[in-house]
Amino acid sequence: MTNPSLLILPGDGIGPEVMAEVRKVIDWFGANGGPVFDVSEDLVGGCAYDAHGTPLHDDTMARAQEVDAVLLGAVGGPKYDSLDFSLKPERGLLRLRKEMDLYANLRPAQCFDALADFSSLKTEVVSGLDIMIVRELTSGVYFGEPRGIIEEGNERVGVNTQRYTESEIDRVARSAFELAMRRGKRLCSMEKANVMESGVLWREVVTQVGKDYPEVELSHMYADAGAMQLTRWPKQFDVIVTDNLFGDLLSDLAAMLTGSLGMLPSASLGAPMANGRPKALYEPVHGSAPDIAGQGKANPIACILSFAMALRYSFDRGEDAARVERAVETVLADGLRTADLLGEEGKAPVSTSEMGDAIVAALAKG
């Protein structure tokens, strides 16, 4: 029986630093009776452009299609700002999502009790928060045609097109309903059916899919009202499903409810492969943070929790995923903080590697 395969793409900025801590967790499992992975590593983003003149080499894309899961760090940095749009580091990530057809982006927003005070909202509003936003990832306004900057009369016009087919809405809705079935059996769909025809279609299709999931309580909300409700009382939600643009905005908003982008993982899932596993890419929500790269200040928790999501959704290792999550919770409860989480005056932050070491030590204790 072959080991499951994992392609690691550390990327740019703090990506290699946080990914090094994930490798410690992977190695710990392999040495202690847990899953053993066939791990390979490659380039994406600015580092791929530096090496190959493209943000994602064709050979890397082919490897990503063949492995059981891809784990990515972060891409981008100011040194690449002057590149043509087609060569920017972010295009490598978008190509991975598009060509792997990763249409369902899962972004959890969980507030650990030890960090409830770090949220900008009152502790009682966020304490115990555990919601999941399912964002459609391969269509909508980010991919619709026509698009571009055109000349119209004596001025330029920027054009982007919001476009969704029934099948695109159907498949991401089913992913969200399936997830809701494994959680609290509540799903809220968010769009702008009051002003957008794509929103009208979205609501109609999600409602129709809901008939196949009678156990799930389905509600609908306009996305702008959803943003307001997320900041008013986020614990009213369990699973939220929404389109690409609104999902981008709402998931970042929900991220800050927890106190730090450095805490939040994500999963991007596609259709099942021949082995029954979905094509999948896992990555932290945070960016490459070039201002702190190489200084040992980065928080590796989001990347480590992204690996936990891979254990759960790609490798059917839910207990191992929960063990990683408990280790993170233990370390935070013990008061360890990287610089982004430092709230107590006079308390020195731990480094990126020290946080990783502490999480591995907590894993060892069970």
Cβ neighbour number for residue 48 with a 10 Å cutoff = 22
Q: Say if residue 146 is preceded by a cis peptide, omega within 30 of 0.
A: yes
| Structure letter (DSSP) for residue 292 | T
Whether 243 has a binding-site annotation, put simply, is: no
| Residue 292 counted as an annotated binding residue | yes
Q: Residue 89: count other Cβ atoms within 10 Å of its Cβ.
A: 27
14 marked among binding-site residues: no
Known binding residue 78? Answer is yes
Burial class of residue 253 in the structure, from the number of CB atoms within 10 Å of its CB (0-12 exposed, 13-18 middle, 19+ buried): middle
Q: Is 295 annotated as a binding residue?
A: yes
Residues 222-252: b if buried by 16+ CB within 10 A, e if exposed: bbeebbeebeeebeebbbbbbbbbbbbebbe
Which residues have a catalytic role annotated?
142, 192, 224, 248, 252
Q: Is 118 annotated as a binding residue?
A: no
The distance of Cα 294 from the centroid of its chain, to the nearest Å, equals: 23
The sign of the torsion formed by the CA atoms of 256, 257, 258, 263 equals negative
Residues 253 and 231 sit within 8 Å (Cβ to Cβ): yes
Query: Is 287 assigned to a binding site?
Result: yes
Burial class (CB in 10 A: 0-12, 13-18, 19+), 82: exposed
Would the annotation count 16 as a binding residue? Answer: no
Cα(67)–Cα(73) distance, integer angstroms: 17
Q: Is 80 among the annotated ligand-binding positions?
A: yes
Residue 159 main-chain phi, psi, to 5 deg: -125, 125
Q: Return the percent helix, strand and coil in the chain, to nearest 5.
A: 45, 20, 30
Closest CA to 226 of 237, 214, 216, 215: 237
| Residue 224 assigned as binding residue | yes
Does 293 belong to an annotated binding site?
Answer: yes
Q: With beta carbons less than 8 A apart as the criterion, state whether 207 and 155 touch.
A: no
| 82 annotated to bind ligand | yes
**In the block, residue with structure tokens 């994500």:** 266
For residue 291, say whether it is annotated as part of any ligand binding site. Answer: yes
Give 28's contacts (C-beta < 8 A, 6+ positions apart): 34, 360, 363, 364
162 labelled ligand-binding: no
222 is in an annotated binding site: no
Q: Find out whether 320 is annotated in a ligand binding site.
A: no
> Is there a binding annotation on residue 257?
no
| Tokens, residue 149 | 């900057």
- Residue 301 assigned to a binding site: no
Q: Is 284 assigned a ligand-binding role in the annotation?
A: no
Is 58 annotated to bind ligand? no
Mark the binding-site residues for Mg(2+), compressed into ranges: 224, 248, 252
Mark the binding-site residues for NAD(+), compressed into ranges: 77-90, 287-299
Mark the binding-site residues for substrate, compressed into ranges: 97, 107, 135, 224
Mark the binding-site residues, compressed into ranges: 77-90, 97, 107, 135, 224, 248, 252, 287-299
